[in-house]
Amino acid sequence: MAKRTYSVRYIAGEPAKRIQPTPVHMLGESLPIGMPLFAAGETLDVVTWNIYKQQRPNWKIMLRELVVDRKLILLQEAQMSPELISFAASHQLIADQVPALPFSPHPAGVMTLATSHPIYCCPLREKEPLLRLAKSALITVYPLPNGKQLMVANVHAINFSFGVDVYTKQLNKLGTHISKHMGPVLLAGDFNAWSRQRINALKRFIRSVGLKEVTYNLDLRTKAFGRPLDFMFYRGLKLKESRVLQTDASDHNPIMTQFDLLK
């Protein structure tokens, strides 16, 4: 793992803190005890959204709607601006971000907003083969009220490449973590699956780690070349509700889901 791969944590009233990757072998051992992500009897409400670096003027209005009752908000292309930091703080959310370009004044990357601290945090970065820009992913683990632990993988996949070798490599890095985790898993984000080869590579990967794909009665997901870009996958949870919300606050439409815990 590159030395410069790290995440940054933002908590209301505290200075930003650089978080070094938790070693993957910790997944096979006992992780720290933490506060559950939500209370017993509640549902697990999750949204994933590529926020387009907050370039649209109404992004905050949309995000304010999305965070209501959500325990997890998975953002891609989240630009760490003072306005977004303030937004997370005002909603009492803990924000973990992987800066894809770490030396930018307001770096963009994946960001996971949650109602409790993660007990495991591992950022990943992969360079675009053609543009040499990085795409990021973040793996976090949260305690659940039933005593289990939820792994959350927030992904912004490689976009421009010849073939799918680098794309598959990025997925396999996620698979290393998912395969070591014994509890429920959520994998979501912008997978840039705009070609048949990429869709096939993604499906092979999902089968290999034993995840299910969230489906929708009305599929309004953003598409490129006729194929959806955003996905959510899961295991060890019961899908209760899923829908896609149409918006002009980004060039992507957010996915909203609700899960029940399995006994």
9 pLDDT exceeds 80? yes
103 pLDDT exceeds 70? no
pTM: 0.95
The whole-angstrom separation of Cα 79 and Cα 77 is 6
The whole-angstrom separation of Cα 112 and Cα 116 is 11
pLDDT digits (tens, 9 = 90+) for 216-236: 999 999 999 999 999 999 999
The reported pLDDT for the residue numbered 102 is 61
The whole-angstrom separation of Cα 157 and Cα 125 is 10
Q: What number is the average pLDDT over the span 138-164? A: 92
The reported pLDDT for the residue numbered 58 is 97
Q: What own/partner pairs with CB < 8 Å and gap ≥ 24 does 245-250 have? A: 245/66, 245/220, 246/220, 247/62, 248/56, 248/58, 249/56, 249/58, 249/59, 249/61, 249/62, 249/63, 250/49, 250/50, 250/51, 250/52, 250/56, 250/59, 250/62
Q: Which letter does DSSP use for residue 86 in this model?
A: H
Tell me which residue of 143, 179, 147 sits closest to 28, measured CA to CA.
179
Asked if residue 113 lies in contact with residue 94, where contact means CB atoms within 8 angstroms, the answer is yes
Buried b (16+ CB within 10 A) or exposed e, 105-128: eebbbbbbbbbbbbbbbbbbbbee
Q: Which letter does DSSP use for residue 219 in this model?
A: -
Q: How confident is the model at residue 100 (pLDDT cuts 50, 70, 90)?
A: confident
Q: What number is the average pLDDT over the span 162-171? A: 88
The reported pLDDT for the residue numbered 107 is 83
